[in-house]
Each structure stands twice: as C-alpha cells, then as structure tokens.
Structure 1
Amino acid sequence: MRVRAAPCKYFPDVETVLLARHARQIGEHLDQLAEVRGQADEPVGRPEAVLEAFAPVSHASRGHRDTEVAAFLHKDRHVSEARQQLHGMIRDLAAEGVRTGDLRNDIAPASSRATRLWAWTS
C-alpha cells in the first residue's frame, strides 16, 4: 500500500495542488492579456497587441504539451474556460474593429478569429 502525504491542510493531494497552481497561472495570463488590451491606444491595435502578448505564453507552453502532467492539467475545465475567455476577448476586439472600420467585415468574425488563434497556437 502506497501512502501519500497531503501537501498541506488546504489540498488533499498533489494533483489538487497542481490544478490550483495551473488555474492560477492561466488566470494571470488572462489578466495580462486584458491589461494589454486596455493599454492599446487605438482600437485597431488592440487585437494585434493581445495576440502578440499571447504568442510567448503559447510558445512557452509547447515544451510541456506532450507530458503526462500536461495531459492531466489540460483536460481540466479551467483550460476550456480560459480558452473560451480568450476567444471571447478576440471576438469582442474583432467586433470593435469592424464597428470602427479598422478591420474587414467581409469575413465572419468566428472564422477569422479561429484562424488567427489556430495560427498562434500551432
């Protein structure tokens, strides 16, 4: 029988600690993207600023995608929720750009957004 010590009184096991840390890290990334979005002076520059801020985060995560720990962490709901938040942020920025006339409106926003995110995360 293998006995595992609880990491502390707030977390029952190591997996819970890892999930909590990963969720916090993802939250920090989303906060950073929101800050970058708010700092861009012109609406036309906001999508580019957010995607440029997202690129190093996405690139840094490539190195651990194929590990067992990464597989465990990335199937948790906080990852899909964060992805939805990111997509929503990009969708809203694209819609704002179309309203101001800074972005094209002849391509469906969902299609162009998905293409940009796919290109950045591939």
Structure 2
Amino acid sequence: MEVIVISSDAPAAVKATAGTYVLVATGTNDGAVINAAIDLAAALQARNDTSPAGAAQLGTVRLTGGRFNITSPILMRSGVRLTGAGWLTELRAVNCTAAGMIMLASAGDHMVMVEKCG
C-alpha cells in the first residue's frame, strides 16, 4: 500500500484525486502533510497480521514532482519508505531550524528508507 502526497503546485485535476491515501500539500507547511502520510503508511505494517513472522511489510510515501516547503522536520517511522519523483521533487527548507530536515521520529524507529526515483 502506498500513500501519495501531491505538491501544492500540481495541476488542479491531479489535486482533485485526493482521498484517504492521497494527500495534497498546502505549499506552506508541507512537512506536516508528509508526516501525516508517514503516519498512515507506518500503520500499514501493523495491520498486516496475516503475514508470517518476520515478513517485511513496508509502507511507502510517494511524493509527486513539484516543490514541498518544509518548515518542520519530516519524521520517519519504522517500516516506511519515502520516495520522490527524482529531480522533479524538491524539498525546500523554509525556516526549518531543526538539526535535520529528515529525521527519525524516535530513537526506537528503524528500517526506514529515503530514496529518489527517476
């Protein structure tokens, strides 16, 4: 299962596809929207109780192309993969004063992946 975050500068027709697993960024505090998507994706691992012990069930958050203005850190949670559309996806730190723009949500979080596609 994948959660998609659409940038605020995407065409209106693309934004109209928003739903439970498709979120639209606001263009101001996009880190909050990305974090909400990560929270949705992290729960995917726990819901798959029919998997055998040790099965790797990763939730994926896919960012569309476009600019995402990050004012607070993106907090990665266990079992989540964050991916973009290669050079078409821009994460721009806007008044983000945290130690990093992408961080673990807690010291206990693990098995995260951040990658670009394309």
Q: TM-score range by the shorter chain?
A: 0.3 to 0.5
Q: Which has the larger radius of gyration?
A: 1
Larger strand percent: 2
TM-score (norm 1): 0.38
Higher normalized helix content (fraction of residues): 1
